[in-house]
Structure 1
Amino acid sequence: MPYHPIDRRNYQRYDFCSKIDYMITPGDPQEIFKGVTVNISHSGLRLYMFMPHHEGQGIRIKTKLPEDIQTATIRWIKRSDGNLYEAGLQYSQSINAQ
């Protein structure tokens, strides 16, 4: 019998590939990390990271996302390949649906 995971998302995901810079909060504001978005929704995004961060850590996004998306929390993270990590982020505040 095939496995069909339950999709518990409240908002639809949209493909959105973009390089971003981010900081871990709390942390050194001068330490900037690089990432690449995979998809985005009104409540979060999936991000490829090049550093092994941890669930529950705060993220402050520095570039290329709408102004009201500035902070998020890592909800899950897994090693994808070598030094590449895939993470699910939840925004501190959802984007208002238009």
Structure 2
Amino acid sequence: LKYLWDVARPNQYGRNLSTVLITPRFPSYPSAHATIAGCSEILLSYFFPTESAKIKNLMKESAQSRLYAGVHFKVDNDEGLRLGRQMGETVVKLMKSQNLNIIQ
């Protein structure tokens, strides 16, 4: 998806922007870091439902770390989280349909 939209990273717009991390040489949108966080949020919340609020907050912070580091825009993270959550929901739905509830 990154190459489909080919969105530049923040330091490509502002050459004087210093980043905390080395900026990857591939497009910014959507954030893969946030996508993995969103998917993890759904899967971990499925297995640990009593911790879902805490998990959601941790995964949001995980995605935001890339914004603070200067390698992503907010929209990259927001859409990455949304995409990851959709992927997580698909996996949970598949597990439920196959009775793959590991925690009984």
Where relative contact order (Cα < 8 A, 6+ residues apart) is larger, the structure is 2
TM range, smaller chain? under 0.3
Which has more helix, going by share of residues?
Answer: 2
TM (normalized to structure 2)?
A: 0.25
Which has more strand, going by share of residues?
Answer: 1
TM (normalized to structure 1)?
A: 0.26
